[in-house]
A = this chain, B = another copy of it.
Amino acid sequence: MRAQTRRLSFGQTELDGTDIRILQVLQDEGRISKSDLAARVHLSNSACFERMRRLEQSGIIRSYHARLDLDLMEDLQIFQTHVVLGSHRQEDFTRFEAYVAANDMIAECYGLGGGIDYSLTCVARRISDYQGLIDDLLSRGLNVERYYTYVVTKQVKRREIGIDRLLG
């Protein structure tokens, strides 16, 4: 009896169980060598290679990153900011998101539904730097109606969001 092969479509691309396993491994061990990866998914180097390249070129794998230990970083304040816009025209969203993309104190931004429009994670060296960000945000005519600031006191958990939840 063969193991059941889960198939998923990601935009244009169809993924089989082996692709998903590759993604899973790379999500957890982003710097694993390609030969170790091939062994892990029971494939020859070249076959595994070809799949990995397909996953990168199709955009399913966007990028690779080292994750640093925030708790070891002194001189670093993290804030979470919840933003409500004054009106919800397409243009309001576009302009706000362009601002977020361009501002490099903003590390993360989720668009939300249900009473808050955006949740931001902001990185600053001092509170005054954060306040500078907020002042700037409010002075740009981005139609921010309300915002709420929360100091991040602890990074309890941070995992990549993704594929592992689609299995099982």
Contact = CB atoms under 8 A, between A and B. Distances in A.
A136 interface: no
Q: Is the interface of A mostly helix, strand, loop or mixed?
A: strand
Contacts of A160: 65-68, 107
B108 A63 contact: no
B68 A62 contact: yes
Interface residues of A, number: 72
Contact of A65 (B27, B101, B110): B27
Interface of A: 8-11, 13, 23, 26-31, 59-70, 72-76, 78, 80, 97, 100-101, 104-116, 118-119, 121, 123-125, 148-166
Given A10-B73, A165-B123, A156 B97 contact: yes
B62 A69 contact: yes
